[in-house]
Amino acid sequence: MTSYPLTRRNAAGAVLSAAAAGLSAAAAKDRPNILWILGDDLGPQLGCYGHPLVSTPHVDRLAAAGTRFTHCFTTAPVCSPSRSAWNTGVYQTTFGAHNHRSHRQDGYGLPGGIRLVSHRLRDAGYFTANVTDIAPGLRASGKTDFNFQLDAKPFDGTHWRQRANGQPLYAQINFTAPHKGPVWPAARKQAKLIDPAKVDLPPYYPDRPVVRDEVANYLDAVNYWDAQVGAVLDQLKADGLLENTAIFVFGDNGRCLLRGKQWLYDPGTHIPLIVHWPGSVKAGVVRRDPVISLDITATTLAMAGVPRPELFHGQDLFASRLRPRTHIFTARDRCDMTVDRIRAVRDGRYKLIHNFLSDRPYTQYNEYITKSYPTQQVIKDLHAAGKLNAVQSQWMAETRPEFELYDLQADPNEVRNLAQEASHRKTLARLTRELDKWIEEMRDAGRRPESRETLLREEPRARPVV
């Protein structure tokens, strides 16, 4: 099992010489500029990932000239715990950052040994920026959304042009697209739009115009995001940075559609990852090994020559002695007022989901989903009218099974639960052991529910665990 106890260094990632990182000596000496380009709620619905309807030429070109990872996952299916994790390189469950938008009022800080990647790079001489006003007419959100407080500002500035002459750059550009909100109507003003009639619906969605329209609008927002990425690349080229900057393109969590974001099914945590670094990262490579967003953090530090921290869960993706992960672990906890605790583990074929609060329905109230996901209301209305099929009706069950086991090869949509089938008892037992071991080794803070006092302070509308 590829999980990392808090007291053990990962030997595969500890050697940060140019040879061990798979980088040329010249590139290591030069210390590259490093740029993260993010899309909120961005799944792998991109042209370079084979999606037939979207038009993402700018990201597709980066992928063709770089390395594309087909099996990259975030550690959480919602922004603040996910961002808290990959901005530190440590699972959010390890240091109490697992509940969505928590610790906003209690002064909670990072435990000893855990630091922002931007702070580590600042100490190494990098100028760090959360870029907002990129170019005329192009603005990013500057989103951080950490579930902790900081004693020092997370970034030095808001644009790469603010750095000293010759100073290496580390920057993030956080685009809100394709997150639901103002971007969605803006995306509908593009000249070329997705035809809802051509959208391929998963079997758990009823085929209704509202559902098709929501999925199509999401894909429109992906196209809108790609145009923004293109404008970033134009500005980098104009400023002479495009050829000497390592660019990571990824999402903060999976797509913002029902059964995606906030859930541990693949659409909630599966994200694209493209690494483009001319002359150092091979062009046209497709990597199918399973990786997690924390590996982006580890690779960034390795590129900059920063030693691997003692408490760290990512690994350098380009290390010559990389030990491929055999399992991917993900976690979902409270999202706004919706108290929950779900853990999942997937290997090369199967995924196990453990619903710790199985007495609660999939549809327990969440204000964001209620207001922003029209498909949810369609499903509820059709259920009341007795018009859902057996697969679609699963979403409306009054309770959940404690365990969900899926064969991802035979059932990529994760709709046939094998947990109770005798022929899969050994698989269930094996993955349960792996998940339980990971929970113990990572010192999963979710084992201790938030107190009523904390819930009343941070989210008064939440229904506590009783």
In a domain, 28, yes or no: yes
pLDDT at residue 18 tops 70: no
Q: Is residue 371 part of a domain?
A: yes
Same domain for 353 and 265, yes or no, is no
Statement: residue 24 has pLDDT above 70? no
Q: So what's the pLDDT on residue 231?
A: 97
Do 102 and 59 reside in the same domain of the chain?
yes
pLDDT score of 128: 98
Same domain, 266 and 307: yes
Number of alpha carbons in the 13 Å side-chain half-sphere of residue 431: 26
**Residue 464 confidence (pLDDT):** 78
Tokens 């906003």, residue located: 104
* Pairwise CA distance, residues 369 & 312, whole Å: 33
Which of 53-57, 248-252, 298-302, 461-465 has the least mean pLDDT? Answer: 461-465
Same domain flag for 261 and 363: no
Alpha carbons 220 and 177: distance in angstroms, whole number: 10
Query: How large is the average pLDDT for residues 190-206?
Result: 98
Does 52 reside within a domain?
yes
Give the residue from 301, 323, 345 where a domain finishes.
323
Residue 465's pLDDT band, with cuts at 50, 70 and 90, is confident
pLDDT at 99 over 90: yes
Question: In a 3-state reduction of DSSP, which class is residue 183?
Answer: helix
307-327 tens-digit pLDDT:
999 999 999 999 999 999 999
Q: Is residue 4 part of a domain?
A: no
pLDDT tens digits, one per residue of 426-436: 999 999 999 99
Note whether 73 and 127 are same-domain residues.
yes
Give a yes or no: residue 288 inside a domain. yes
**257-293 per-residue burial string, b: 16 or more CB within 10 A, e: under 16:** bbbbbbbbbbbbbbbbbbbbbeebbeeeeebeebbbb
Minimal CA–CA distance to 146: which of 94, 98, 179? 98
Q: What is the DSSP string of 302-352?
A: HHTTPPPPSS-----TT-TT----S-EEEEE--BTTB---EEEEE-SSEEE
- My answer on whether 400 and 435 are in the same domain is yes
> Which structure tokens are listed for 418?
């094998």
Is the same domain home to 200 and 319?
A: yes
What pLDDT is stored for residue 271 in this prediction?
A: 98
CA dihedral for 70, 74, 75, 78, sign (positive or negative): negative
User: Does 237 fall in a domain?
Assistant: yes
Give the model's pLDDT for residue 208.
98
The end-to-end CA distance of the chain, in Å, is 34
- Torsion sign across C-alpha atoms 190, 195, 200, 202: positive
Work out the pLDDT band at 117, boundaries 50, 70, 90: very high
Cα(261)–Cα(100) distance, rounded to whole angstroms?
A: 12
Angle, vertex CA 27, rays to CA 132 and CA 227, nearest 5: 35
Q: How far is CA 447 from CA 85, 234, 340, 450, in A?
A: 18, 47, 11, 10
What pLDDT, on a 0 to 100 scale, did the predictor assign at position 427?
98
CB 69 within 8 A of CB 287: yes
Distance CA 128, CA 172 (A): 8
Contact call for residues 362 and 395 (beta carbons, < 8 A): yes
Q: Are residues 312 and 424 in the same domain?
A: no
Rounded Cα–Cα distance for residues 367 and 70 (Å): 32
Number of domains in the chain: 2
Q: Give yes or no: residues 338 and 305 share one domain.
A: no
Domain that holds residue 374: 332-458
* Residues 452 and 313 both lie in one domain: no
pLDDT at 143: 97
Q: Is it the case that residue 7 has pLDDT exceeding 70?
A: no
Which domain-ending residue is among 291, 323, 355?
A: 323
Which of residues 299, 323, 347 is at a domain's end? 323
Mean pLDDT over each residue of the chain, to the nearest integer: 93
Banded pLDDT at 445 (limits 50, 70, 90) = very high
| Rounded Cα gap, residues 138 and 186, in angstroms | 14
Structure tokens at 117: 């990647």
DSSP string computed for 361-375? -TT---HHHHHH-HH
pLDDT of residue 466: 61
**Under 8 Å between Cβ of 457 and 104:** no
- Look up residue 455 and give its DSSP letter: H
355 & 297 share domain = no
pLDDT, tens digit, 9 for 90 and up, residues 128-152: 999 999 999 999 999 999 999 999 9
Question: Does residue 466 lie within any of the structural domains?
Answer: no
To the nearest whole percent, how much of the chain has pLDDT over 90?
91
Residue 29 above 50 pLDDT? Answer: no
What's 226's domain CATH number?
3.40.720.10
Over the stretch 374-414, which tens digit does the pLDDT of each residue have? 999 999 999 999 999 999 999 999 999 999 999 999 999 99
Beta pairing class for 127-130 and 169-175? parallel
Q: Within 10 Å of residue 352's Cβ, how many Cβ atoms?
A: 25
| Mean pLDDT, rounded, for 40-56 | 98
- Predicted local distance difference test score (pLDDT) of residue 330: 99
Q: Are residues 44 and 169 in the same domain?
A: yes
Contact 331, 92 (CB under 8 A): yes
- Hey, which residues does 245 pair with through a beta bridge? 33
Strand 270-276 and strand 127-130: the pairing is unpaired
Give domain status of residue 404, yes or no: yes
